[in-house]
């Protein structure tokens, strides 16, 4: 059985050429990818993503993805949602600039002082979001603080998204729902000796790292996942 | 000014994964801001794909020059797939093969060679604009 | 059509074709049975082409070049590296992929099929093949190389 994959966050920047804010989005994303969180983030190239890049789309389906847009058109956020799924978090540079009272951002080729400041602020916000979606702190999924990433070991491509990660199915309100990495999550919790009832919240939190769960559906997911995990533990006990 | 012709839309890929993407972006700026500002309009690729009205209208009514960083040719594919007609498809990589001493490095900040490559590329496109048939047909479509 | 072993790291998938042999450097060797017992086609693995970057120029030594195993037989120039490829076998180059002259990107786009580099008429195949890795063994070597790569800053 493959290892539970090392979590990384994908970052999608709009890089819009028409506005200086697009340049801010690009530079802020690159700052995070290359300097601030290089081992824990992955570049998603938006044009390749939109043109059908399967590797980028599969990654964005499976890993938490953060978008940064220059303006309210939110091309990166909408594009990500269209082809992979709702982003884990989104930033709009214009909103950040207004929030911090920055002056007019200008210079799409060479940013002015306000633009450079916006890059710093946006990069800082991205780092906060990366740390948040990767779940810093004690957690069975990653065993504690964020550690250096290890390569994924996948041999069986079982997920239709092309990520190569096993999937499991549960039934919510009569509908079959595919949960990415569910078999691996159950195996990890079982290896750690976690009982179904005691681990309910942590199970849900781990599932949410790899799958989007609407806030209103969390209770139903929690209950169903706990029942499925209990069945898994019974099966393991029999074997 | 291209006589009796509409301006062309310039669509760079601006790919963020390789220096060539930054070259495509910089070349588009040099072309549209310095060399041929009266004949060109810069259109953001993602605006076009995500359905922004003005971008779609511009691409529909004018010939496009696409500038792609690598041979994936994302800008060319997406412009064609979204109602555009391409007057010239440029791959930065092909231009680099003719100027291999101008090796671009850096994505956030292009090195001097990368900036020179972008300028060379922009100048080539600027020179060729007069031969692009701007009546919206595929005639005269060229590859770099 | 080849089947593949595959591993995925982040957004990158690395494939190893099951139907051929490999050097640890990432050169594949495909035995061209119908064309005669001693001819092999050679090329670059998926991992090696991804690792090296977009090919700007590919230079393969000309038809008629005689090689010992490990002699340089091709050079791949990318924006990141100038990759010198050692021949996996002893023999004579009898065919070169001329499409790579104008379209070197084929090495990146289709490394196991259209991106082949050369056909070599071998002179010591039985001995040379014992030094090559099968697909599973190369897959393990590739994974080790990936792990090393990820450890670097």
Tokens of B56: 């779609």
CA A171 to chain CA centroid, Å, is: 24
> For residues B78 and B48, is the Cβ–Cβ distance under 8 A?
yes
Whole-number percent of chain B with pLDDT over 70: 88
Interchain CB distance below 8 Å, C105 and B93: yes
pLDDT band at A84 (very low <50, low <70, confident <90, very high): confident
* Confidence (pLDDT) at A154: 31
Q: Please give the model's pTM, rounded to 2 decimal places.
A: 0.79
**Mean predicted confidence (pLDDT) in C40-61:** 96
**Mean predicted confidence (pLDDT) in B17-33:** 96
**Mean predicted confidence (pLDDT) in A207-211:** 77
Tokens of B141: 């479509």
3-class state of residue A189 by DSSP: helix
Q: Which of C12, C150, C151 sits opposite A55 (nearest CB)?
A: C12
First to last CA, chain A: 16
The sheet that has C91-96: what strands, in order across it?
A: C21-22, C27-31, C39-44, C118-122, C91-96, C66-67
Task: For residues A7 and A150, give the distance between their C-alpha atoms in angstroms, rounded to a whole number.
Answer: 10
pLDDT band at B3 (very low <50, low <70, confident <90, very high): very low
**CA-based nearest distance B42→chain A, Å:** 7
**CA-based nearest distance B97→chain C, Å:** 6
Residue C109 counted as domain residue? yes
Q: Kindly list the residues from chain B whose CB atom is less than 8 angstroms away from the CB atom of residue C108.
A: 71
* Confidence (pLDDT) at C1: 59
Give the total number of structural domains in chain C: 1
* Confidence (pLDDT) at A6: 67
Residue C71 counted as domain residue? yes
Neighbours of chain A (3+ CB pairs under 8 A): B, C
* Confidence (pLDDT) at A151: 34
**DSSP 8-state secondary structure symbol assigned to residue C81:** -
Instruction: Kindly report, residue by residue over A30-69, the tens digit of the pLDDT.
Output: 999 999 999 899 999 999 999 998 888 888 887 889 999 9
User: Does ipTM come in above 0.85?
Assistant: yes
Residues in chain C: 153
Interchain CB distance below 8 Å, B71 and C105: yes
Task: For residues A133 and A62, give the distance between their C-alpha atoms in angstroms, rounded to a whole number.
Answer: 13
Examine the pLDDT at B86 and tell me if it is beyond 90. yes
Examine the pLDDT at B119 and tell me if it is beyond 60. yes
* Confidence (pLDDT) at C147: 83
pLDDT band at C99 (very low <50, low <70, confident <90, very high): very high
Residue with more model confidence, B142 or C84: C84
Question: Of A165-174, B104-113, C56-65, C134-143, where does mean pLDDT reach its minimum?
Answer: A165-174
Chain C contacts to B (CB-CB under 8 A) = 54, 56-57, 79, 105, 108-109
pLDDT band at A215 (very low <50, low <70, confident <90, very high): confident
CA B44 to chain CA centroid, Å, is: 11
Element (H or E) spanning C149, and its range?
helix C135-151
Task: For residues A223 and B2, give the distance between their C-alpha atoms in angstroms, rounded to a whole number.
Answer: 68
* Confidence (pLDDT) at A142: 37
The sheet that has C72-78: what strands, in order across it?
A: C55-60, C72-78, C82-86
Q: Under the phi-then-psi rule, with left for phi > 0, alpha for psi from -120 to 50, and beta for the rest, what region is C98? A: alpha
CA A94 to chain CA centroid, Å, is: 23
Nearest CA to B81 among A74, A16, C106, A47?
A47
Residues 6+ apart with CB under 8 A from C10: A8, A42, A59, A152
Task: For residues C120 and C96, give the distance between their C-alpha atoms in angstroms, rounded to a whole number.
Answer: 9
- Return the residue matching tokens 């994302």: B74
* Confidence (pLDDT) at A107: 95
* Confidence (pLDDT) at C68: 97
Examine the pLDDT at B143 and tell me if it is beyond 70. no
3 state SS for chain B: CCCCCCCEEEEECCCCCCHHHHHHHHHHHHHHHHHCCCCEEECCHHHHHCCCHHHHHHHHHCEEEEEECCCCCHHHHHHHHCCCEEEEEEEHHHHHHHCCCCCCCCCCCCCHHHHHHHHHHHHHHHHHHHHCCCCCCCCCCEEC
> For residues A48 and A151, is the Cβ–Cβ distance under 8 A?
no
Instruction: Kindly report, residue by residue over A141-167, the tens digit of the pLDDT.
Output: 433 333 333 333 333 334 444 455 677
Residue C150 counted as domain residue? no
| Residue of B69, B97, B106 for testing the chain C interface, max C β-carbons within 10 Å | B97
Task: For residues A18 and C43, give the distance between their C-alpha atoms in angstroms, rounded to a whole number.
Answer: 43
Q: Where are the domains of chain A?
A: 9-133, 167-238
| Residue of C56, C107, C115 for testing the chain B interface, max B β-carbons within 10 Å | C56
Q: In b/e form, how buried is each residue of C32-52, taking b as 16+ CB within 10 angstroms? A: eeeeeebbbbbbbbbbbbbbb
* Confidence (pLDDT) at A175: 84
> For residues C121 and C94, is the Cβ–Cβ distance under 8 A?
yes
* Confidence (pLDDT) at A147: 37
Element (H or E) spanning C41, and its range?
strand C39-44
Neighbours of chain B (3+ CB pairs under 8 A): A, C
**DSSP 8-state secondary structure symbol assigned to residue A169:** E
Task: For residues A148 and A144, give the distance between their C-alpha atoms in angstroms, rounded to a whole number.
Answer: 12
Q: Where are the domains of chain B?
A: 9-133
pLDDT band at A188 (very low <50, low <70, confident <90, very high): confident
Tokens of B96: 């680099």
Average pLDDT, chain C: 93
Instruction: Kindly report, residue by residue over C51-94, the tens digit of the pLDDT.
Output: 999 999 999 999 999 999 999 999 999 988 899 999 999 999 99
| Residue of B44, B54, B69, B78 for testing the chain A interface, max A β-carbons within 10 Å | B44
* Confidence (pLDDT) at A5: 60
Residue C152 counted as domain residue? no
Task: For residues A62 and A161, give the distance between their C-alpha atoms in angstroms, rounded to a whole number.
Answer: 8
**Mean predicted confidence (pLDDT) in B73-84:** 94
**Mean predicted confidence (pLDDT) in B79-104:** 94
* Confidence (pLDDT) at A148: 35
Q: In b/e form, how buried is each residue of A68-89, taking b as 16+ CB within 10 angstroms? A: bbbbebbbbbbbbbeebbebbb
Residue C65 counted as domain residue? yes
Residues 6+ apart with CB under 8 A from C64: C92, C93
Tokens of A175: 């509908």
* Confidence (pLDDT) at B97: 94
Question: Of A123-137, A189-203, B1-15, C127-141, where does mean pLDDT reach its minimum?
Answer: B1-15
Average pLDDT, chain A: 84
Q: Which of C54, C56, C108 sits opposite B100 (nearest CB)?
A: C56
- Return the residue matching tokens 């976690």: A194
**Strand C4-9 relative to strand C12-17: parallel, antiparallel, unpaired?**
antiparallel
* Residue C103 domain boundaries: 4-140
* Confidence (pLDDT) at A164: 55
* Confidence (pLDDT) at A139: 38
Query: What pairs with residue C15 in β-bridges?
Result: C6
Tokens of A210: 């790899």
* Confidence (pLDDT) at A162: 47
Question: Of A16-20, A156-160, B1-5, C4-8, where does mean pLDDT reach its minimum?
Answer: A156-160
Give the number of other Cβ atoms within 10 Å of residue A222's Cβ: 17
* Confidence (pLDDT) at A185: 87
Average pLDDT, chain B: 89
pLDDT band at B137 (very low <50, low <70, confident <90, very high): very low
Task: For residues A16 and B75, give the distance between their C-alpha atoms in angstroms, rounded to a whole number.
Answer: 13
Q: Which residue of B has its CA nearest to C107?
A: B71
**Mean predicted confidence (pLDDT) in A97-123:** 96
Residue with more model confidence, A193 or A115: A115
Examine the pLDDT at B135 and tell me if it is beyond 60. no
């Amino acid at each position: 059985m493959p290892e539970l994959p090392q979590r990384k966050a994908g970052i999608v920047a709009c890089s819009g050429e028409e506005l200086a804010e697009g340049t801010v989005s690009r530079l802020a994303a690159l700052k995070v990818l290359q300097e601030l969180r290089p081992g824990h983030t992955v570049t998603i190239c938006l044009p390749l993503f939109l043109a059908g890049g399967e590797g980028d789309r599969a990654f964005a389906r499976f890993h938490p993805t953060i978008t940064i847009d220059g303006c309210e058109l939110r091309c990166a956020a909408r594009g990500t949602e269209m082809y992979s799924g709702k982003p884990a978090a989104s930033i709009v540079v214009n909103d950040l600039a207004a929030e911090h009272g920055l002056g007019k951002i200008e210079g799409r080729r060479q940013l002015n002082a306000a633009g450079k400041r916006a890059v710093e602020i946006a990069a800082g916000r991205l780092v906060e979001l990366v740390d948040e979606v990767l779940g810093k702190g004690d957690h069975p999924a990653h065993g504690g603080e964020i550690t250096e990433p290890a390569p994924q070991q996948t041999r069986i491509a079982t997920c239709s998204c092309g990520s190569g990660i096993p999937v499991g199915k549960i039934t919510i309100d009569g509908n079959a729902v595919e949960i990415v990495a569910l078999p691996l999550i159950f195996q990890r919790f079982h290896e750690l000796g976690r009982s179904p009832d005691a681990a309910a919240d942590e199970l849900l939190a781990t599932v949410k790292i790899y799958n989007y769960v609407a806030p209103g559906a969390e209770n139903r997911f929690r209950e169903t996942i706990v029942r499925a995990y209990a069945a898994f533990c019974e099966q393991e006990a029999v074997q | 000014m291209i006589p009796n012709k509409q301006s062309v839309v310039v669509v760079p890929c601006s790919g963020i994964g390789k220096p060539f993407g930054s070259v495509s972006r910089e070349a588009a700026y040099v072309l549209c801001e310095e060399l041929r500002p009266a004949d060109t309009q810069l259109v953001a690729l993602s605006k076009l794909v995500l359905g922004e009205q003005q971008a779609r209208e511009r691409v529909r009514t004018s010939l496009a020059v696409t500038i792609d960083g690598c041979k994936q040719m994302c800008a060319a594919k997406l412009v064609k797939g979204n109602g555009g007609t391409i007057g010239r498809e440029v791959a930065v990589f092909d231009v680099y093969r003719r100027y291999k001493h101008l090796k671009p490095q850096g994505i956030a900040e292009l090195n001097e060679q990368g900036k020179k490559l972008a300028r060379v590329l922009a100048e080539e496109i600027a020179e060729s604009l007069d031969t692009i048939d701007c009546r919206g047909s595929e005639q005269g479509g060229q590859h770099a | 059509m080849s089947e593949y072993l595959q591993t995925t790291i982040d957004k990158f998938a690395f494939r190893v074709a099951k139907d051929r042999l490999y050097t640890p450097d990432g050169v594949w060797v495909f035995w061209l049975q119908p064309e005669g017992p001693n001819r092999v086609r050679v090329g670059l693995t998926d991992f090696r082409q991804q690792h090296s970057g977009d090919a700007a120029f590919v230079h393969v030594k000309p038809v008629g070049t005689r090689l010992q195993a490990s002699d340089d037989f091709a050079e791949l120039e990318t924006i990141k590296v100038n990759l010198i490829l050692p021949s996996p076998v002893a023999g004579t180059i009898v065919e070169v992929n001329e499409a790579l002259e104008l379209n070197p990107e084929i090495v990146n786009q289709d490394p196991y099929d259209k991106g082949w580099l050369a056909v070599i008429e071998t002179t010591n195949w039985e001995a040379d093949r014992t030094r090559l890795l099968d697909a599973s063994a190369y897959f393990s070597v590739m994974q080790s190389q990936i792990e090393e790569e990820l450890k670097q800053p």
